[in-house]
Structure 1
């Protein structure tokens, strides 16, 4: 696979748009499709990519199709129908699905792609937009080892670590597990940060300590700017998508019979923020929401 490999990116939101930019820096010809065409056109204007009118059109001219969509319904919708990905597949076209979706949906999509002669790699990613731009994502690849190797030249451009998790569906499962922890870390950091500040600790100093001690996960390092300036930093992981992922966590937990008391509490906290109009805000603004709840409580 060389820089003449033609790539389609289906979905040009925060992560998909960053993937387009990353691949274009290596000279890959990229065609992009998005449900809102204006979004795709904005990404194309910044990167020099080409805009397609349908997923089928984008897929039909590409060797590799990267899918980055917000939820199960969007992913299924992009694959199905006469204008979908499956309709545009040529034999051997590689479909790499990086979306965070239910493992059952992943299995269904893989069957559709393979039934049409394509190659399917279940490959969610862990990391932020900045990680895409730097090529330091963690890639959770699942499926046949030979299929993953076919996709590896593209995966290696996006991630610094590519794990083969197991058979199809285990990549999606691993991503749900990761986001269980990610949501918990964010909620814990939000509460600790606001608690320290409310009790009289300088917030910048508190964050220094959080980063330096046993709690200093990479998440704290790349989220510092948005915690300190929640209204001035681009959104990387919006709370409406956090809520969707929290539902995926609880659905998987129910299927496998694992009690998840913290995940339930975190889901409730996110739901309260959505009720207060935070759907399009970054996950880190849970700290801001806690401050607002404290202010309301002190007034009431």
Structure 2
């Protein structure tokens, strides 16, 4: 299979490497060429060139503006699409942005699947991501060979836009858990119990979600662990969650408190730090 990857950030680069190492032919486009080169895949000079070279185009970008910018213009993804190409949009963005991108893709006779992922870079490397896919089931079947190289689970959740909705619901829980874990560790430390002791108990208790296991190093050794999900992106997610909640009339009091804390941590200079640095902010 030949897959184009547009966006070589942490997740996009990891997916490109995983696909290439699993036997797929991969071409990568990224605005910063060095990041694309680091994947070891073939390099495209533009998003249009990348899209034109593949039957499956996987997009992984930071936010709504980056996504719409990548799709648009003479050198954008849409300009390179052929009829029948399937675009797999994995970015965490507003459902309305997904639907707008799907319209642009559809004008070329191609199709967009709304397919954000749950998981971190280590889970990409292990092929253990979870995909939440909105769009036609028949088109999902066409790209399953590529997704199965990356994923432990692929859920078809409805029409285009549904994937983005479910991803924001999942991240509502992830970000609340990150804050609850941060608060618990700070509480125990202030009361004289070492962080590692508390974490050992949490990791073997009723709250031992997969998140607790794979974030352990980031919480216990923050100065050594690589950044997997930065706090500025957490703030972006929580803003999207608030927008969707306001649009549909959902009350989200816990999410609102989490967002206030994260925004304050970013304002304190921790935006580029891993999300586990929320515990550093709360301990300060």
Calculate the TM-score normalised by the size of structure 1: 0.93
Shift of 1:202: 2.1
Instruction: Give unpaired runs (5+ residues) of structure 1.
Output: 293-300
1:35 and 1:240 map into 2 onto residues whose CA distance is: 20
1:61-80 matched pairs, under 5 angstroms: 61-80=53-72
1:49 and 1:179 map into 2 onto residues whose CA distance is: 30
Q: 1:150 aligns with which of 137, 142, 152?
A: 142
Give the match for residue 252 of structure 1.
244
Give the match for residue 207 of structure 2.
215
Runs of 4+ in 1 over 3 A off after TM superposition: none
Give the match for residue 6 of structure 1.
2
Q: Deviations over 1:31-69 (max 9, x none)?
A: 1111222221222xxxx3011111001111111100000
1:155 and 1:61 map into 2 onto residues whose CA distance is: 18
Whether 1:178 and 2:170 are equivalent positions in the alignment is yes
1:271 and 1:213 map into 2 onto residues whose CA distance is: 30
2:128 and 2:35 map into 1 onto residues whose CA distance is: 24
Q: 1:21 aligns with which of 13, 17, 22?
A: 17
Give the match for residue 38 of structure 2.
42
2:156 and 2:100 map into 1 onto residues whose CA distance is: 20
Whether 1:58 and 2:58 are equivalent positions in the alignment is no
1:156-175 matched pairs, under 5 angstroms: 156-175=148-167
Give the match for residue 266 of structure 1.
258
Shift of 1:115: 1.2
2:38 and 2:154 map into 1 onto residues whose CA distance is: 30
Q: 1:279 aligns with which of 248, 271, 274?
A: 271
Shift of 1:241: 0.6
Q: 1:188 aligns with which of 170, 180, 183?
A: 180
Q: Deviations over 1:179-237 (max 9, x none)?
A: 11110000000000111011011211100111111111110000000001112111111
2:155 and 2:196 map into 1 onto residues whose CA distance is: 35
2:223 and 2:193 map into 1 onto residues whose CA distance is: 22
Give the match for residue 83 of structure 2.
91
Q: Deviations over 1:64-117 (max 9, x none)?
A: 100000000000000000000000001111100000000000011111111111
2:49 and 2:272 map into 1 onto residues whose CA distance is: 30
1:83-122 matched pairs, under 5 angstroms: 83-122=75-114
Number of aligned residues: 284
Shift of 1:126: 0.3
Instruction: Give unpaired runs (5+ residues) of structure 2.
Output: none
Q: Which moved more, 1:243-252 or 1:202-211?
A: 202-211
1:234 and 1:63 map into 2 onto residues whose CA distance is: 33
1:35 and 1:176 map into 2 onto residues whose CA distance is: 26
1:224 and 1:39 map into 2 onto residues whose CA distance is: 27
Shift of 1:268: 0.8
Shift of 1:275: 0.9
Give the match for residue 241 of structure 1.
233
Calculate the TM-score normalised by the size of structure 2: 0.98
The alignment's C-alpha RMSD in Å is: 0.8
Q: Secondary structure at the match of 2:37?
A: helix
